[in-house]
């Protein structure tokens, strides 16, 4: 959030409407953290309903949109994959425990 605040929240080109829209969402650290939180869960749009990173691309270049895409990929694929693996592991352990109890009951 601090990196986005220091780069995207700074004064952009005078009169650049896209930069002004972006700066509103990254003007301070709490607002930047909230914007990143929203974007990580798929709600990365402006008040007008346009995608925020379209404005970032127009004002600051494609490198920032690429970094956002990498961040989103890591969050969605990486983190949620780990979370689902934890649930699957606990389900398999529970199933093995139930099978062991049933086997004991048969004896």
**Pick from 78, 62, 15: nearest CA to 23:** 15
| Cα–Cα distance measured from residue 37 to residue 86, given in angstroms and rounded to the nearest whole number | 23
Instruction: Identify the pLDDT of residue 43.
Output: 85
pTM: 0.63
Poorest-confidence range of 6-10, 52-56, 99-103? 6-10
Q: Which two tokens stand for residue 2?
A: 């601090």
State the Rg of the chain over Cα.
Answer: 22
Instruction: Identify the pLDDT of residue 14.
Output: 63
> 45 has which bridge partners?
51
Instruction: Identify the pLDDT of residue 62.
Output: 87
Q: Is a pLDDT exceeding 80 seen at residue 91? A: yes
| Cα–Cα distance measured from residue 61 to residue 100, given in angstroms and rounded to the nearest whole number | 59
Q: For 11-52, what is each residue's pLDDT tens digit?
A: 655 667 888 888 888 888 899 899 988 888 888 889 889 988
3-state secondary structure of 45: strand
Q: For 51-70, what is each residue's pLDDT tens digit?
A: 888 888 888 888 888 888 88
Poorest-confidence range of 3-7, 16-20, 38-42, 102-106? 3-7
Q: Is a pLDDT exceeding 80 seen at residue 6? A: no
Q: Which two tokens stand for residue 38?
A: 């929203």
Q: In sequence order, what are the residues at sequence separation of 6 or more whose Cβ sits closer than 8 angstroms to the Cβ of residue 64? A: 7, 8, 53, 56, 57
């Amino acid at each position: 959030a601090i990196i986005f605040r220091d780069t995207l929240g700074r004064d952009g080109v005078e009169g650049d409407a896209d930069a002004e829209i972006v700066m509103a969402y990254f003007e301070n650290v709490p607002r930047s953290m909230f914007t990143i939180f929203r974007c990580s869960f798929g709600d990365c749009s402006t008040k007008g309903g346009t995608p925020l990173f379209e404005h970032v691309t127009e004002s600051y270049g494609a490198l920032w949109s690429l970094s956002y895409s990498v961040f989103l990929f890591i969050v969605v694929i990486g983190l949620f994959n780990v979370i689902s693996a934890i649930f699957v592991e606990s389900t398999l352990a529970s199933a093995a425990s139930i099978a062991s109890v049933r086997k004991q009951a048969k004896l």
